[in-house]
Structure 1
Amino acid sequence: MSKSTSNRFILLTKAALICLMLVVVAGGVVRMTGSGMGCPDWPKCFEQYIPPTSEAQLPNNYKEIYSEKRSKKIMRFAGLLEQIGLDDQANKLRNDPSILIEQNFSAFNTWTEFINRLIGAISGLLVFAVFVFSLKYIRSNKALVLLSLFQVILIAFQAWMGAMTVAT
């Protein structure tokens, strides 16, 4: 592999690492500000790619709409938990009415969560690019390719867990 190719791979890997650190920081900000439910659905935010900035941009019954969607998602997730033997956790989810209560709209919370998601998406794309780029090293460094693939799997799992967190 040429030196310039190697340098580009290192630069891409560093960019992915920086973005992953930003995801951790953004996740902390979301948690500290209580913005996790700022976008009640996933992957969109209030059924939009660009979230609203005021409650007037939402349907009058938006709380009922998202509560019903969350209820369906919770039932699916509880079914998955039962399939893997976590019956107690599934029952807790099904019987906890507090997770169906929608927050009042807050542009700050919505945009805080939306920015967190954007950083996460960019991180995911960079991690995937690192994996694709690592395929050039498959003959000389199989471990690098496998670790890059493992990183893609981990970030996909993290995104799924984020979606489940929004649901529950």
Structure 2
Amino acid sequence: MLSLKNAKPGFRLAAFATCFAMAVVVLGAFTRLVDAGLGCPDWPTCYGHVWAPQSDAEIEAANAAYPELPVDLEKTWPEMVHRYLASTLGLLIIALTAVSIRNRKYPGQPVKLPLLLLALVILQGAFGAWTVTLRLWPQVVTAHLLGGFLTFSLLWLLTLRLGGSRPIQLFSLQQRALPRGLAVLALLVVIVQIFLGGWVTSNYAALACPDFPLCQSQVLPQTDFAAGFDLAHPIGPNYLGGHLDIPSRTAIHLAHRIGAVVTLLVVAWLVLRLFKARFAALASGLALVLAAQISLGISNVVFGLPLSVAVLHNLFGAILLATLVTVNYELYREANHV
């Protein structure tokens, strides 16, 4: 658990950057869900402007330059706010890297992790640009989403490592078996599930199955998994709204549902093992986040993908990932007497 008493240099900055990264992830989800991913068809400007065209003359000129994507000010602001927040996050990570290098001789000060985060945020900037210039190409959109979740989770891991952590157990290791392998498996399963969720949203398949627990009032509707998971989508078309047929989108949606069942079983098993190993706080927190995430996923279908629920589903996906990072970190510390 975290303790400010023995925190290493950069702890507060890392904690702030983690919260900021969560805000960027949530705003990114909001931008996708309101179809504002192409609210600005160019990058890094917006119709050639630092913010967006405002006057009638500017809007007319922008529409002439991009007739296929006319100005919609309701969509330009989420896109530009997301860009500026993401750029600010990049500056925060640069500052974290500088602090870590400057204090590299401090006992236990991580340096490789901030450098990894710096490389990742640079790559994320490139994916952000490609998301626009490649017109929401599903592969890039999904990779950008995964990169956002990975940035957030690694910032949280950095915060844990910089915090003045203290043991959370008073029992000897001989009294309990640590479920480290299961914790790693649960983390990997959730990462795969996040990828499937990103593939759902980038291919506009969230409502391919509009009912629950059935899909299109069937147990096994018509699907096309080969087309749905064809990662060789050509570059070129505008993918706003998606280009796949119903069977392909249904396959993507069903894969995400199957992934949710696997996630539920694996993480629930981990919760039970954590309780058995007397990690009651971690087990309870993980169980609550898992229950919330499953409930939000079902609510997305039952209530027809309401914006607030869909955004919360992304938020709790990030929180579930961070919780599993915490579980793995604490189990590692316990096993290695850190």
Report TM bin, short chain. 0.5 to 0.7
Kindly provide the amino acid, as one letter, of the partner of residue 105 in structure 1: V
Q: How does 1:20-39 map to 2 (within 5 A)?
A: 20-39=21-40
- Tell me: higher relative CO, structure 1 or 2? Use CA pairs within 8 A at least 6 residues apart: 1
Q: 5+ unaligned residues in a row in structure 1: which ranges?
A: 67-100
1:123 aligns with 2:89: yes
Q: Does structure 1 retain, via aligned residues, the 8 Å contact 2:36–2:78? A: yes
Give deviations 1:29-77, integer Å, cap 9, x for gaps: 01000001111111111211122235542353x35635xxxxxxxxxxx
Alignment of 1:1-168 (within 5 A): 9-53=10-54, 56-60=57-61, 62-63=62-63, 65-66=65-66, 102-140=68-106, 144-168=110-134
Deviation (angstroms), 1:104: 2.1
Superposed CA deviations along residues 113-166 of structure 1, whole A, max 9, x for unmatched, are 001111101111101111011112222358711110100110111110010010
Cα separation, 2, equivalents of 1:107 and 1:44: 14
Against the structure 1 CA distance between its residues 107 and 8, is the aligned structure 2 distance closer, same or farther, given a 3 Å change threshold? farther
Distance 1:44 1:142, change over 3 A: farther
Structure that is richer in helix per residue: 1
Query: Structure 2 CA distance, aligned partners of 1:118 and 1:20?
Result: 12
How far, CA to CA, are the matches of 2:48 and 2:8 in structure 1? Answer: 41
Instruction: Report the equivalent of 1:77.
Output: none
Q: Residues 8, 147 of structure 1: CA spacing in aligned structure 2 closer, same or farther, 3 A cutoff?
A: closer
Q: How many residues align?
A: 130
| Corresponding residue SS for 1:37 | coil
Q: What is the TM-score normalised by the length of structure 2?
A: 0.35
Rounded to whole Å, the distance in 2 between the matches of 1:53 and 1:30 is 20
Contact 1:9 1:133 in 2 (8 A): yes
Paired AA for residue 42 in structure 2? D
Cα distance change, pair 64–51 in 1 and its aligned pair in 2 (3 A): closer
Change (3 A) 1:109 1:54: farther
- In the TM superposition, structure 1's runs of 4+ consecutive aligned residues that sit over 4 Å from their partners are none
The 10-residue stretch of structure 1 (137-146 or 121-130) with the greater mean CA deviation from structure 2: 137-146
Letter in structure 1 aligned against 2:53:
P
Q: Is 1:38–1:106's contact at 8 Å kept on the other side of the alignment?
A: yes
RMSD, aligned α-carbons: 2.5
TM-score (ref. length: structure 1): 0.68
C-alpha distance 51-113 of structure 1, shift in aligned 2 (>3 A): same
Residue type of the alignment partner of 1:113: E
State which structure, 1 or 2, has the greater radius of gyration over its C-alpha atoms: 2
C-alpha spacing 1:155/1:141, structure 2 compared with 1 (3 Å): farther
Gaps of 5+ in 2: 135-338
109-118 or 41-50: bigger deviation: 41-50
Judge which range, 46-55 or 113-122, deviates more. Answer: 46-55
Between the aligned partners of 1:141 and 1:48, the Cα distance in structure 2 is: 47
